[in-house]
């Protein structure tokens, strides 16, 4: 195994990160402009030489632009075989959409979690219209929120629920009831929010053990860029994907 082309031009810290043993979880701390994308892409290439097939590697990031840039740079590396499936490099939401859109026995995974068919992305006006029809003025008064603020509170609850700590128990119960109504109505209208992708993928993996087992076998190595931006739902998704024996490489 010749790793010289992969570490050419790297400083000592970058070299150590690229060729670190795949035996423990690894967290790389890097400031802006430190070459973290270079380290990530070369780490992926190194894993194809030393650990697993390239199609068994999953790399997750937060923007489509970053994912496309990483995939482009990985594809140019010498150890990557262009004739085979490339490593899966995508966003958290893109990966969740990929899982939920899969078809088995004539049924998509979206249908397995309650949708009638492949849903469409909800518009902001449609979401506000649903909230207006599903909530009362009294509920909104107790929450101290108009429709726009209520919409923001629900989004925050789905991603960072701990940040709602200043709400009392009654307000939290009301918000939870509204959230349940909203989710039910979205499924009836066959639409989804971006946050539904992660929560839907979690539900799919948690409720369908056979699919979770099959999904766990898809990847032997998982990498995450911009790890500081992960929210609790994404961490839960990572935990389910990692399973036993898989190692996480995070930057």
Average pLDDT by stretches of 10, the chain with 251 residues? 85 94 92 88 92 93 92 89 90 94 87 88 92 95 94 87 83 94 93 90 90 86 93 91 85 94
Question: What is the rounded distance in angstroms from the CA atom of residue 242 to the CA atom of residue 131?
Answer: 36
Q: Are 74 and 49 in contact (CB under 8 A)?
A: no
Q: Are 40 and 223 in contact (CB under 8 A)?
A: yes
Question: What is the rounded distance in angstroms from the CA atom of residue 249 to the CA atom of residue 251?
Answer: 7
Predicted local distance difference test score (pLDDT) of residue 116: 86
Predicted local distance difference test score (pLDDT) of residue 210: 84
The tally of CA atoms less than 13 A away on the side-chain side of residue 2 is 5
Tell me how far apart the terminal alpha carbons of the chain are, to the nearest angstrom: 25
Predicted local distance difference test score (pLDDT) of residue 216: 81
Question: What is the rounded distance in angstroms from the CA atom of residue 143 to the CA atom of residue 138?
Answer: 9
Predicted local distance difference test score (pLDDT) of residue 215: 83
| Helices 147-159, 232-242: crossing angle, 10 deg rounding | 30
Closest CA to 233 of 160, 168, 130: 160
- Rounded to two decimals, the pTM is 0.88
Main-chain dihedrals φ then ψ at residue 205, nearest 5 degrees: -70, -35
Predicted local distance difference test score (pLDDT) of residue 164: 80
Backbone conformation region of residue 140, classed left if phi is above 0, alpha if psi is from -120 to 50, else beta: alpha
């Amino acid at each position: 195994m010749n790793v010289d082309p992969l570490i050419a031009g790297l400083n000592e810290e970058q070299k150590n990160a690229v060729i670190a043993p795949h035996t423990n979880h690894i967290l790389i701390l890097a400031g802006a402009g430190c070459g973290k994308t270079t380290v990530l892409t070369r780490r992926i290439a190194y894993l194809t030489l030393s650990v697993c097939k390239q199609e068994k590697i999953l790399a997750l990031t937060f923007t489509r632009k970053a994912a496309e840039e990483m995939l482009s740079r990985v594809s140019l590396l010498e150890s990557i075989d262009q004739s085979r499936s490339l490593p899966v490099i995508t966003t958290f939401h893109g990966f969740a959409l990929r899982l939920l859109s899969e078809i088995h026995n004539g049924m998509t995974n979206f249908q397995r979690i309650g949708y009638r068919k492949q849903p469409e992305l909800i518009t902001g006006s449609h979401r506000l219209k649903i909230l207006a029809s599903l909530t009362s003025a009294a509920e909104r008064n107790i929450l101290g929120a108009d429709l726009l603020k209520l919409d923001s509170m629900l989004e925050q609850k789905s991603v960072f629920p701990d940040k709602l700590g200043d709400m009392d128990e009654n307000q939290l119960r009301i918000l939870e009831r509204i959230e349940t109504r909203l989710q039910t109505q979205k499924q009836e209208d066959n639409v989804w929010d971006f946050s539904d992708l992660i929560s839907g993928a979690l539900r799919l993996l948690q409720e369908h053990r056979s699919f979770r087992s099959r999904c766990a076998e898809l990847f032997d190595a998982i990498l995450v860029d911009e790890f500081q931006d992960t929210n609790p739902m994404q961490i839960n998704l990572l935990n389910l994907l990692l399973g036993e024996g898989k190692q996480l490489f995070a930057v």
